[in-house]
Structure 1
Amino acid sequence: MQPGSGVQSVEAVFLLLLVFVAVFAGLARRLKIAYPILLVIAGLVLSLLPGMPLIGLDPNLVFLVFLPPLLYSAAWTLSWREFQRNFVSIAMLAVGLVFFTILGLALMAGSLLPGFDWRSAVLLGAVVAATDAIATTSIARRVGLPQRIVDLLEAESLVNDGTGLLALQFGLLMLMTGRTPSIIEGVGRLVFLTCGGVLIGLAIGAAVAWFERWVDDGPIEIVISILVPYATYLLGDRAHVSGVIAVIACSMYMSRKSSGNMSPQVRLQATAVWDALTFAVNGIVFVLIGLQLPYVMGQISGMSRVVLMEYGVGFSAVMIAVRMVWVYGETYIAYAVQRWAQKVEVEKPAPRRLFVIGWGGMRGVLSLAAAVSLPYALPDGSTFPQRSMIIYLAFCLIVATLVVQGLTLPWLIRRLGLSEPIGMKAEEQDARRVLLREALVHLDRKRSKNRDQSAMLGELIAGYQQRLDAVPADRERVEGLVDSTLRSTAILEVLHAERVALLRLWDEGHIDDDVLRTLQRDLDLEESRVHTGSAVVR
């Protein structure tokens, strides 16, 4: 190989993947399909083309390059209010379901998985039990799921990465040493991984938030925001706690602090950069999943394609059924205990909603990376015979949940009558009214103190009153070019008053994080127009 040819090969593969992402994501938009689904399908098809280079999946590439920024981006948009409200449900899915899946596979090892002993089955369960935050976040928001279900699935997929990695550690420990950890050891390890990750994430978040108070420069803050998830993940890993939990905790903390620490201009720039970054990395991840088909099939020998297909389909169906059983069983048991034993009036579970939650448990690249990272050999020098089958079954489950479940989710939501109407949420409408009234109060108070600006302020008041009268009928802007420094100053003061009211509504729990970000973006854009001399009274 000539000098530099290795670098050139990497560059060529990277550019080829970006071309795939751009082309097929554009096609997905035209077909009105969530782009991650089409990218996986495209990767599968491309992997079968003659002459297509074999692109292997390096676990280190996933865990150290792709995972930190994607987790950070996903956790940034997680609603803290909804996380608190759904904490019990999230814990039951993120912890209970993971271990229920592992226990189920261990009990069925002999019949469902010929050649697997219970230790190998536990390892398989640890690989596939946790849903994937990247897949869930990328697809759930694009298929019309009700926001309440999206919040639950996203939180579950983020938290259960920690429990899944813990289970994988114990599975490898049992495989390599033959020792089974005690329940006390398992619980203690889970608490250590989780609490340690949270502490490291919050500490880094607090340090970065303090630093950003003294910096108001878009490029600098954007670079810092990209470095933070990598630094947090690596520090968590070095401290032998959960790097995943550390990144999630840091992101959620930084997200809550961003409203006060970032200027509107920096916030707009950072949002644009992160949208492009997560789209590109997400796209590459999903194409890579599809391209793994030749590698996965090359690991299996001595079995016909028909038998392999039966194993893959059967295993995927069982895993989907296990999730359904847990979601329905746990929910109705909890309802019965609260209703009949504790005598608490609680809302009766909605079977349609539970079905969608069960159907939305998608696996992704993390499961495949975990499977590929399994050792080839056992301590006695013999090969680990189930490794190739674990990789194959994990790949089948990923394809089944991403493609089959992802494609059927929109149809399923419509059939079950769970589609949410397009338009402003009630919380957003109420918040807009509060902000506009706050702006009118501020302008009226300012006009009473500044009689010489009465005409200009009266025009602004008329514009805001017109906008208030239009909520929620429309969100049209009332045109009015900024033609003086006084007018620009008045608009900036009004925007500040609206921000104060918005943050008050958020702090008091009247609006969730999605509404905050939506209205905050509107205010940021308006302030940006003021600074560029093209502002309008909205």
Structure 2
Amino acid sequence: MLENFPFYLGLIIIILLLIMLADKIKVAYPVLLVLAGLAISFIPKVPVIEIEPDLIFLIFLPPLLYEAAWTVSWKEMWRWRRIITSFAFIVVFLSALSVALVANYFIPGFSLALGFLLGGIVSPPDAVSAGAILKFVRVPKTMSSILEGESLLNDASSLIIFRFAMIAVATEQFIFYKAAISFSWMIIGGVAIGLLIGWLFMKAHKYLPTNANVDIVLSLLTPYIIYIAAEEVHSSGVLAVVSGGLLLSNNRHHFLSSRSRIQGVNVWKSLCFILNGLVFMLIGLDLPQITSGLEGMSITAAVGYGVLITFVLIISRLLSAYGAVIVTLVARNFITVADRRNPGYKTPFILGWTGMRGVVSLAAALSIPVYLDNGNGFPQRNLILFITFIVILLTLLIQGLTLPFFIKKIKLPAIYDPLSREEVSTILRKDLAEYSLQYLKTTYQDQHESNRSLQQLIQKWEHHSKGIDDESIGNEVKTIYLDLINQQRQWLIDKNKEDQSIDESIIRKQMYYLDLEEEKLIHF
């Protein structure tokens, strides 16, 4: 381990340089990292990076899912819950079923259980890849919200399929009623455990004498503890982390200080930044080890199977995307849907084309044990690993490189975003300023005529200026200003709940400004 430490440091430096290059040439960084890892793997005497299969999920998935849950908007998830759950569960299951049937029919030695195992591995699209691509092009907020919500849930649904398929392969039997009970417990138990442990951590943050550093360390421990606790009782660790993360995210302003929120965002972004980079680099680095395990099958045949499965996944997701829209258009005649407007043919195509595979597929494939409980080798393990690699590589290259072109060429309708983010932000700041003026003049009307610093504070909101001279205000006005910031924060929280049309990320951005203003006042 120690003799390879310089190599690991060099690997991180290469990852950083490639991500900077990707930003420069406007290419999604997962594409460059996979290709770079593949190129590095062919360099003579490069150390082989091996991670215990059982640790793959534990190392990478909990923090990545937890950070995603903190980033996503619960309001948007609930608004688009029908199409999100359709993509996250129904589309994932249909993709896994399609892969299972094709693999069972075309690949020698592949049982239906092994086909479902492969389908569970490769069915969930990767949110990191899509996010890295979408930042170079403008898409309606509705679409990005659907993709973000889907990414949180499709990992859980695919891993549930993966787990049942593993049991079927190991025991060579599938008992439906036991599977139904287990499936129910995985979902209900996972959500319940996530909410319970998330609630306990929320109370720990709130009532223990913590500071920003302690809060951040607790936040780093939270996803791992939630995941391990859920897995220990055989429920879904993924759903537990997601539900716990959503609970804490939506209550962050009730138990974390402004300093903890500001510093925590930076720590989590840096952590997930390097974890994602390592995962995509590992995908490329693992190829020689995977190909060396292919016995009794040529590389050409294995590549052909990988191409076939990739084609099945792309087509099944596209068909499912159009099918989901058709179902929604029919269902709106009988039930209330989030948006009754016809999305046309363009939006389903882009939703269907954002099907790049990545982190979860790699982690699931590598977690397949080498041997079964009876001591026999796990059937087709290396072929499954190789096909997974081909699927990840091809979807990143084909869909990842062409997605920006399609988005620009198709010109998605703007009916979902009638106002630009800048216009919404301007309106929000204006409304916040009016509320602030009213609050100050009503609550502190006896003081504002005689207190010059308080007059400056009122002028700040009258003219929307950036701030006031902190050196010139006394402790009394600082107290008033902090009270105003707390009132503004609550007004923004209420605004976010009441106005379903406003983008929550705009609200969060304004809340971040308030945190910065509060920190400047407290620690001046």
Q: 1:197 Cα deviation (Å)?
A: 0.8
Per-residue CA shift, 1:153-177, capped at 9, x if unaligned?
Answer: 2221221222212211221222222
Segment drifting more, 489-498 vs 242-251: 489-498
Partner of 1:473: none
Per-residue CA shift, 1:71-90, capped at 9, x if unaligned?
Answer: 10011111111111111112
Q: 1:462 Cα deviation (Å)?
A: 2.5
Which of residues 461, 468, 472 is equivalent to 1:483?
472
2:211–2:260 Cα contact (<8 Å) kept: yes
Aligned pairs for 1:288-437 within 5 A? 288-339=282-333, 346-377=340-371, 383-418=377-412, 424=421, 427-437=424-434
Aligned pairs for 1:447-466 within 5 A? 448-450=445-447, 453-466=450-463
Q: 1:532 Cα deviation (Å)?
A: 4.1
Amino acid aligned to 1:435: L
1:312–1:396 Cα contact (<8 Å) kept: yes
Q: 1:189 Cα deviation (Å)?
A: 2.3
Helix, strand or coil: the match of 1:453? coil
Partner of 2:512: 521
Which of residues 483, 493, 496 is equivalent to 2:486?
496
Q: 1:216 Cα deviation (Å)?
A: 4.4
CA distance in 2, matches of 1:334, 1:501: 34
Q: 1:519 Cα deviation (Å)?
A: 0.9
CA distance in 1, matches of 2:309, 2:291: 16
Change (3 A) 1:227 1:376: closer
Per-residue CA shift, 1:281-313, capped at 9, x if unaligned?
Answer: 121112111211212222224444444433322
Which of residues 179, 184, 190 is equivalent to 1:191?
184
1:82–1:151 Cα contact (<8 Å) kept: yes
Per-residue CA shift, 1:3-59, capped at 9, x if unaligned?
Answer: xxx3x1453343233212222122222223333332222212222223322223533
Q: 1:378 Cα deviation (Å)?
A: 5.6
Aligned pairs for 1:206-221 within 5 A? 206-214=199-207, 215-221=209-215
Matched, 1:505 2:495: yes
CA distance in 2, matches of 1:225, 1:377: 36
User: TM-score, normalised on structure 2?
Assistant: 0.90
Change (3 A) 1:355 1:229: same
Partner of 1:70: 64
CA distance in 2, matches of 1:453, 1:43: 67
CA distance in 2, matches of 1:380, 1:440: 73
Per-residue CA shift, 1:101-151, capped at 9, x if unaligned?
Answer: 232233323543344232221221122122335544555456544322222
Q: 1:238 Cα deviation (Å)?
A: 0.8
Partner of 1:123: 117
Helix, strand or coil: the match of 2:463? helix
Q: Which runs of 5+ in 2 are unaligned?
A: none
CA distance in 2, matches of 1:263, 1:380: 53
Q: 1:319 Cα deviation (Å)?
A: 1.2
Per-residue CA shift, 1:314-369, capped at 9, x if unaligned?
Answer: 32122111111111123213423544x77999322322111111111222132123
CA distance in 2, matches of 1:42, 1:296: 17
Helix, strand or coil: the match of 1:362? coil
Q: 1:491 Cα deviation (Å)?
A: 2.9
1:216–1:262 Cα contact (<8 Å) kept: no
Per-residue CA shift, 1:166-213, capped at 9, x if unaligned?
Answer: 21122122222221232x443432221111011111111111111211
CA distance in 2, matches of 1:234, 1:378: 23
Matched, 1:271 2:262: no
1:44–1:290 Cα contact (<8 Å) kept: yes
CA distance in 1, matches of 2:201, 2:231: 19
Change (3 A) 1:72 1:392: same
Which of residues 240, 247, 252 is equivalent to 2:241?
247
Change (3 A) 1:343 1:438: closer
Change (3 A) 1:459 1:304: same
CA distance in 1, matches of 2:15, 2:452: 54
Change (3 A) 1:229 1:36: same
Q: 1:250 Cα deviation (Å)?
A: 0.7
Change (3 A) 1:436 1:278: same
Change (3 A) 1:90 1:10: farther
CA distance in 2, matches of 1:228, 1:524: 23
Which of residues 226, 229, 234 is equivalent to 2:228?
234
Segment drifting more, 251-260 vs 112-121: 112-121
CA distance in 1, matches of 2:114, 2:317: 20
Amino acid aligned to 1:477: K
CA distance in 2, matches of 1:161, 1:82: 19
Helix, strand or coil: the match of 1:54? coil
Amino acid aligned to 1:524: D
CA distance in 2, matches of 1:211, 1:531: 23
CA distance in 2, matches of 1:289, 1:342: 44
Change (3 A) 1:137 1:425: same
Partner of 1:108: 102
CA distance in 1, matches of 2:370, 2:522: 60
Q: 1:258 Cα deviation (Å)?
A: 0.7
Partner of 1:92: 86
Q: 1:426 Cα deviation (Å)?
A: 5.0
Instruction: Tell me how large the CA RMSD over aligned residues is.
Output: 2.7
Change (3 A) 1:123 1:350: same
Change (3 A) 1:512 1:236: farther
CA distance in 2, matches of 1:448, 1:110: 77
User: TM-score, normalised on structure 1?
Assistant: 0.88
